[in-house]
Chains A and B, each alone.
Chain A
């Protein structure tokens, strides 16, 4: 088969995969500090995208809209933490599972009522015209997704490693009780992780919307893939999600090309089952030995 076609498929798939990876990274952030996951993460992506669209429609330029959207995402993350997660964690219950799903449903209905159920275009100054690189067509829009994903993940990882607050984040991730004894507020750190996770979700929404349009159901297909990526890579794998996300995206697109579009999801789901059977902690996950 023509190598340029394979190249095209791989590049398109990998770029979609980066979006999965970014959402999966949002799962990781909260899992690290609190061992909890926001099952309504997809709705955070969607509501933030709608909010950013509203900012744009109000006449804000793109570069002013992006921080506004990210801030909104962070606030939503805090709302989820306060209403859905904190009490459950204090009571050492698993209530956050149900509560985060309920919050997701609530955001979904709110979005339907506020913005309606139509899929709408998301205007962007970044051109959607293809550029030709080594026989492969990519659009600047798609490249902006890659740049955005790497930029925010890089920044957050730098923050975790280089700043005092980041060190506290790492400490709580490593051992919550020990960190508390050292005078680090675990509650504050969990709040921070949810705010970061919300920011990441908002960025995913802003980056992907110009390609996929904005609508209440825009994230439902993405979120399942993102969850698979997070699980296959391991919920504490850091940059592992990027590799797995890209691999999953490439696999999907090659599968739909060679096996037919009806088989698009099959290889990636098979891989998910295999990965879980062989490495339950994820490909890049660390097995933790607990002494009792």
Chain B
């Protein structure tokens, strides 16, 4: 008797959940630990967009307005935590989608559970190539995983391009011994070849996580006559490189992956970080009304005067807007229908990074860019200056202002030149 009542009430509870009139959206990422600046910024950026949508009454789904309900999960940048969270989310049944993940390893460990159940996920801001190429390697025909980040392929191409544009001929390639560092080195060497071997790699140096004295590696690079240092690494070791270069009087600029914009690089390198260049999808500079509203909103809501990772925050914000547009178009909270809508988004989405015009197309295992939103032209070069990231090239800034004023970003179907460059693996 007791058992029957229990089952009965469980059944009712389950019914109650399904009968809810909210759109359930999970946000995952490392909110504590070394990757937290990225994870927490993604979350906070996304929640800013959600708060705006909810304040306006919610998303128009069919004939009623539905608010977004957030489910937060901290994966602590640990692969095994990520896998558990993905299993939990995949088992929920009434979840409309997932946005998040900073670490490529966490994507590799968890996304398969979501894909199995066809739960729509937008990866944001993990940039490692492998989190999308794993699906083309597996030959998956129907994919529910999308990405909203400038993947390493685009970034490596830009780093090499920047070195060539600045008329350097001899460069040192420095990387850390993690997966991220080593695959970044491969991407950069590959790009040097693709872009016509205009750069001569005079030194290839490696260091371990936790190394603080980079003198040996830097002296080798200096002795070999490197004019610039192309670097792929995570965390404070990047700062140790900048500080080491200042010590031995090496003036070559540091150009590398977007991790160079993280607060733990900028703060620990101090004035030695000035002039460092890295690809960015968003610069914390209120150049357009939309960007100004976003930056002011973030500062005010979270009581900071600098976004810990502006790139991650802006991507989290735009990812939610794109997701909401897909829910509206699908006219349903069913994650499978939302996935179909994402693959064919009809209305342009005015985001803080760009106006997103048909960001994704039907998944094609031979071409990962079908589920990648970012193209070369949505990424700009950022430069560290006095503790902040500013535009590295004035032309980028001018272009973005002009684009926001009138002409929208090119639709993905136009396939710009960078597409081929982006696909390095």
In the complex, A118 Cα to B220 Cα: how many Å? 30
With A119-B235, A253-B213, A264-B216 known to touch, is A8 a contact of B33 (CB < 8 Å)? no
A114 to chain B, nearest CB (A): 13
A193 to chain B, nearest CB (A): 29
B-side contacts of A2, CB under 8 Å: 223
Within the complex, which residue of A16, A119, A130, A137 is in contact with B264, where a contact is CB–CB below 8 Å?
A: A119
B-side contacts of A262, CB under 8 Å: 177, 206
Q: Is B236's CB under 8 angstroms from A215's CB? A: yes
Q: Is A213's CB under 8 angstroms from B236's CB? A: yes
Q: Is A12's CB under 8 angstroms from B215's CB? A: yes
Q: When each residue 114-148 of chain A gets 1 if its CB lies under 8 Å from chain B and 0 otherwise, what string results?
A: 00111111000000111000000111000000000
In the assembled complex, B247 has its CB within 8 A of some CB on chain A: yes
Q: Is B34's CB under 8 angstroms from A261's CB? A: no
Q: Is B248's CB under 8 angstroms from A213's CB? A: no
B-side contacts of A120, CB under 8 Å: 264, 267-268
Q: Is A217's CB under 8 angstroms from B223's CB? A: no
In the complex, A93 Cα to B176 Cα: how many Å? 43
Q: Within residues 292 to 351 of chain B, which ones have a CB less than 8 A from any CB in chain A?
A: none
In the complex, A257 Cα to B223 Cα: how many Å? 11
In the complex, A8 Cα to B208 Cα: how many Å? 21
B-side contacts of A257, CB under 8 Å: 216, 219-220
Q: By CB atoms of chain A within 10 A, which of B205, B207, B208, B213 has the most? A: B213
Q: When each residue 1-43 of chain A gets 1 if its CB lies under 8 Å from chain B and 0 otherwise, what string results?
A: 0100100110011001000000000000000000000000000
Within the complex, which residue of A16, A213, A253, A256 is in contact with B268, where a contact is CB–CB below 8 Å?
A: A213
- Contact count band on B: 20 to 34
Q: Is A256's CB under 8 angstroms from B223's CB? A: no
In the complex, A211 Cα to B270 Cα: how many Å? 12
Q: Is A261's CB under 8 angstroms from B247's CB? A: no
With A5-B223, A212-B212 known to touch, is A117 a contact of B36 (CB < 8 Å)? yes
Q: When each residue 224-252 of chain B gets 1 if its CB lies under 8 Å from chain A and 0 otherwise, what string results?
A: 00000000000110011001001111000
Within the complex, which residue of B36, B215, B217 is in contact with A8, where a contact is CB–CB below 8 Å?
A: B215
Q: Within residues 175 to 219 of chain B, which ones have a CB less than 8 A from any CB in chain A?
A: 177, 205-208, 210-213, 215-217, 219
Q: By CB atoms of chain A within 10 A, which of B34, B36, B223 has the most? A: B34
Q: Is A121's CB under 8 angstroms from B267's CB? A: yes
B-side contacts of A118, CB under 8 Å: 34, 36-37, 264
In the assembled complex, B134 has its CB within 8 A of some CB on chain A: no
Q: When each residue 245-269 of chain A gets 1 if its CB lies under 8 Å from chain B and 0 otherwise, what string results?
A: 0000000011011001110100000
Q: Is B236's CB under 8 angstroms from A119's CB? A: yes
B-side contacts of A119, CB under 8 Å: 34, 235-236, 264, 268
B-side contacts of A128, CB under 8 Å: 243, 246-247
Within the complex, which residue of B206, B223, B248 is in contact with A261, where a contact is CB–CB below 8 Å?
A: B206
B-side contacts of A16, CB under 8 Å: 213
Q: Is B219's CB under 8 angstroms from A8's CB? A: yes
In the assembled complex, B32 has its CB within 8 A of some CB on chain A: yes
A273 to chain B, nearest CB (A): 21
Select from chain A the residue with minimum beta-carbon distance to B177.
A262
In the complex, A221 Cα to B208 Cα: how many Å? 10
In the assembled complex, A220 has its CB within 8 A of some CB on chain B: yes
Q: When each residue 259-296 of chain B gets 1 if its CB lies under 8 Å from chain A and 0 otherwise, what string results?
A: 00000100110100000000000000000000000000
Q: Is A261's CB under 8 angstroms from B213's CB? A: no
In the complex, A211 Cα to B236 Cα: how many Å? 11
Q: Is A9's CB under 8 angstroms from B249's CB? A: no
Q: Within residues 202 to 258 of chain A, which ones have a CB less than 8 A from any CB in chain B?
A: 211-213, 215, 217, 220-221, 253-254, 256-257
A-side contacts of B34, CB under 8 Å: 117-119
A-side contacts of B215, CB under 8 Å: 8-9, 12-13, 253
Q: Is B216's CB under 8 angstroms from A256's CB? A: yes
A-side contacts of B248, CB under 8 Å: 8, 130, 137
B-side contacts of A139, CB under 8 Å: 247
A22 to chain B, nearest CB (A): 15
Residues of A within 8 A of B (CB): 2, 5, 8-9, 12-13, 16, 116-121, 128-130, 137-139, 211-213, 215, 217, 220-221, 253-254, 256-257, 260-262, 264
A-B contact pairs, 21 of them (CB 8 A): A8-B219, A12-B215, A116-B32, A119-B235, A119-B264, A120-B267, A121-B267, A121-B270, A130-B246, A138-B247, A139-B247, A211-B212, A213-B212, A215-B236, A221-B211, A221-B212, A254-B216, A256-B216, A256-B217, A260-B206, A261-B217
